[in-house]
């Protein structure tokens, strides 16, 4: 079973109900359509990166990426 797991990866890899990755978009200039994107496999990793690089929460939009669709994260539930 371990060999099969090593070849196919964890079951979560095939679970479409959880995000594939997380993205933070920081606008380069307000009102433009150009932004810098930061990606992480976990939301905690993404938040830690933004915090360590002094990127302000009001300058960021967070997204969950499922396959080829991006959904905004409701940050009202975040601290």
Where exactly are the structural domains of the chain?
16-73
- pLDDT category at 78 given cuts 50, 70, 90 is low
- pLDDT at 63 > cutoff 80: yes
H helix runs in the chain, sequence order? 2-8, 43-52
- pLDDT at 67 > cutoff 90: no
d(CA 38, CA 24): 5
- pLDDT category at 46 given cuts 50, 70, 90 is very high
Task: For 4-24, write each residue's pLDDT tens digit.
Answer: 555 555 565 566 666 678 999
Averaged pLDDT of the chain:
80
């Amino acid at each position: 079973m371990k060999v099969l797991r090593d070849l196919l990866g964890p079951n979560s890899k095939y679970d479409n109900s959880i995000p594939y990755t997380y993205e933070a978009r920081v606008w380069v200039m307000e009102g433009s359509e150009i932004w810098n994107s930061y990606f992480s496999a976990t939301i905690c990793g993404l938040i830690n990166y933004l915090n360590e690089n002094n990127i302000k929460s009001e300058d960021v939009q967070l997204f969950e990426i499922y396959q080829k669709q991006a959904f905004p994260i409701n940050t009202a539930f975040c601290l």
